[in-house]
Amino acid sequence: MKKISLLLLIALAGFMIKANAQDQKAESFTGATAHKKHYQAVYQLNNDDEKVIKATLKNINNALEDPRLKGKLEIELVVHGGGVAVFKKDKPYEQQLKDLQAKGVILAQCLNTMKERNISKEELFDFISFVPSGNGEIIIRQQEGWAVVHP
């Protein structure tokens, strides 16, 4: 019985030491360090849900304002499928998009989506860019080393 109690005590002590070390590690961790001079990210938006659109635009702003990435980050927003809603003139995102563009964000709409959904360029904001295929753009960017973010 004494051997079992001693083993349990040793095991408990080991567990407490490990847990304490993990707590100390978690307390001292402040995130990755941005050692590179330049970072690139492509955000994919293919959903017309208002919450998803707002979250995507907010995530882009958050990345641009991250002090580790400030002045080092190039971003492209690739819109396809249902995401086309963000670029429609009858939606409330014009100023947010202009603000992002003023910060250097590339705003790219998939032409395949427009063709499939019979959407004309006149229905969309006149300050956006167009790519032949949203998926193709993401594939190319990823192969170029861009981080792909899909909120």
Is the distance from CB of 22 to CB of 127 less than 8 angstroms? Answer: no
**Token reading at 67:** 């002090």
Residue (of 69, 51, 3, 67) closest to 151 by Cα position: 51
CB atoms within 10 A of CB 120: 7
Stated pTM of the model? 0.81
SS3 of residue 4 by DSSP: helix
**Token reading at 5:** 């109690």
Mean of all residue pLDDT scores within the chain:
90
Tens digits of residue pLDDT in 63-86: 999 999 999 999 999 999 999 999
Residue given tokens 């086309």 in the structure block: 84
SS3 of residue 135 by DSSP: helix
Q: What letter would DSSP give residue 81?
A: G
Tens digits of residue pLDDT in 19-43: 555 555 678 888 999 999 999 999 9
Is the distance from CB of 59 to CB of 149 less than 8 angstroms? Answer: yes
SS3 of residue 125 by DSSP: coil
